[in-house]
Structures are given as structure tokens and as C-alpha cells.
Structure 1
């Protein structure tokens, strides 16, 4: 069975969005959010079982922590605050006509606080 990773590679598909006006007006809050995401990513990398248990406890639906842990350890699942494959994906979206203006670099699509990271 093929999936999106087979076609596009392991690219970032889930991102958090905020209006530029909000980000510009709230740089400390934006950085705090990024720091919290970095902490969560580090926890997942360090202790997948604990991360699954925390998710299961906080979920509004009943979910087995073992099922969550199975998803976390899947080799195609990655947790990162470094955007990956964004230029490849934006090129595809541009060719498909989904976006008119293709970014010149991946960091054009993200908050300035992420620009120093090794994204792609």
C-alpha cells in the first residue's frame, strides 16, 4: 500500500497558523509557543510511552495509549518544529495551480523565529 511519504517523502504537513499581524504584534508569545512546541517535540523523542499516555489522558475521546504509541513510533511519523520539504510541496502546489505565487525560500512561509533552523 502506498502513502504520501512514498510520493512526496517525509515532509511537514501539519503546521500551526497565525495571522502575520498577530505574530508581528506578539513576538514574545510567538516565541513562547515555539518553545513549548520544542519542549513537546523533545519529550516525544525522549519518552514515546509517556507522550502517548499524556495524549490519551488529555484527549476528549477515549483512546488507548498503546495505539497512540504505535502511531508515534511509526517510521513515517515525525515530530519536529523544523519545516521539511516545504519548497518541494510548494512547487507541487504551484504546478497544480493551487497557489499563484511560489515562495523563493521555505522560510518565506514561516515566522521569522524559525528562519535560522535547517528547514527545506
Structure 2
């Protein structure tokens, strides 16, 4: 979407031949080491923060600059599972909401929990800095997903655009003010 904004929608894939997909930890190591051909990385927390602290890396752009504060991470479950387990699905959403409330109310404790449970080594102070970033949003309500769906349709990547954001998510979220 960023390439489409810069070069026109018809050129949305213009830079694809210059890209390679890697897991974030591998891309982080490659970028920071400067020992591979990897010289850029579109990433997400906590990797973007780790990279930003490296003297070998500088930020060129942020998805927030181009796309606004969009939902970055989504949890998936098969529709069949969600339909068969509405109480479990709601309990999972409630747990996510509870975690988001903790993050909002006690960033230090949330950072300590993240630091002690993450597979990525992040000190509690660094985790708290990430959580306190003005662009970091913690919400269970999807935001900006229709922009992606509309773009994907215009680019021919999907045949049908959902009529509303909630068509793409579990029914337990439908009454929220997503986008």
C-alpha cells in the first residue's frame, strides 16, 4: 500500500522483486549485522525498537506515517471452531481486553510480564519504552482493516470486498466501533 501511494496503485508491486520474506528475528539479525544483502526491514514490535537502537540502522519510514494507526496483529481461528465454541471465543476476547486494560493502567507491570514471557530478549525498561510509544495502541477492536480490504480489491488480490469490517472477524466483535 505504501508503494502504491508513492508510485501509483498500478505499480503497487513495483518493489516486490527487491524483497525477500524472512522471519522477523532473522531479518533483525541480518540487518543489524550488515553482513548480508538485507538492507531494509518492514517489521513490528518489538523488532522495530530493537533495530532502532542499533547504530547500523536508521528509520526511513513508518507504516503509521502512511497508513495511520492500524491494527497490526490479528489472532486467527477457523470459523468452524468459533461457531462451535462461542463461549471459549468470548473468553479469549475477554482475556485480551483484560490484558489491554492492564497495559493501559500499569505499563510497568505489563512490561515486566512481557519481558519475562517473550521469546525475544527484551529488558523490562525497553519493553516499557515500547509500550509507552505514542504510536503503540493496544486494542482488541480492529482498526483500518477495511483500508486493506479495499486496496486488495482494487489491486485484484481479492475478488469481493467485505461490506463492513466485522464481516472479517468473529461475531463477538461486531458491536465494536472498528473500521
In the TM superposition, what whole-angstrom CA distance separates every residue of 1:100-120 from its partner, at most 9, and x where no partner exists? 221110000000000001111
After TM superposition, the structure 1 = structure 2 runs for residues 27-38 of structure 1, keeping only pairs within 5 Å, are 27-38=86-97
What is the TM-score of this pair, normalised by structure 2? 0.64
Q: Does 1:24 align with 2:73?
A: no
In the TM superposition, what whole-angstrom CA distance separates every residue of 1:68-106 from its partner, at most 9, and x where no partner exists? 111111111110011111111211122222222211100
- Separation of aligned partners in 2, 1:83 and 1:61: 25
Q: Does 1:87 align with 2:146?
A: yes
What is the TM-score of this pair, normalised by structure 1? 0.94
* Residue number among 107, 123, 136 corresponding to 1:77 in the alignment: 136
Q: Which residue of 1 aligns with 2:10?
A: none
- Separation of aligned partners in 2, 1:11 and 1:95: 19
- Separation of aligned partners in 2, 1:57 and 1:6: 31
Question: Kindly tell me: are residues 108 and 63 of structure 1, through their superposed partners in 2, closer, same or farther at Cα, counting changes over 3 Å?
Answer: same
Deviates more, 1:109-118 or 1:96-105: 96-105
Query: Mind listing any 5+ residue stretches in structure 1 that lack a counterpart?
Result: none
Query: Mind listing any 5+ residue stretches in structure 2 that lack a counterpart?
Result: 1-59
Larger Cα-atom Rg: 2
Runs of 4+ residues deviating >3 angstroms:
none
- Separation of aligned partners in 1, 2:134 and 2:77: 29
Q: How many residues align?
A: 120
* Residue number among 95, 101, 124 corresponding to 1:42 in the alignment: 101
Give the structure, 1 or 2, with the largest relative contact order (CA under 8 Å, sep 6 or more): 1
- Separation of aligned partners in 2, 1:92 and 1:64: 38
- Separation of aligned partners in 2, 1:103 and 1:61: 35
- SS of corresponding position for 1:55: helix
- SS of corresponding position for 1:2: coil
* Residue number among 65, 73, 76 corresponding to 1:14 in the alignment: 73
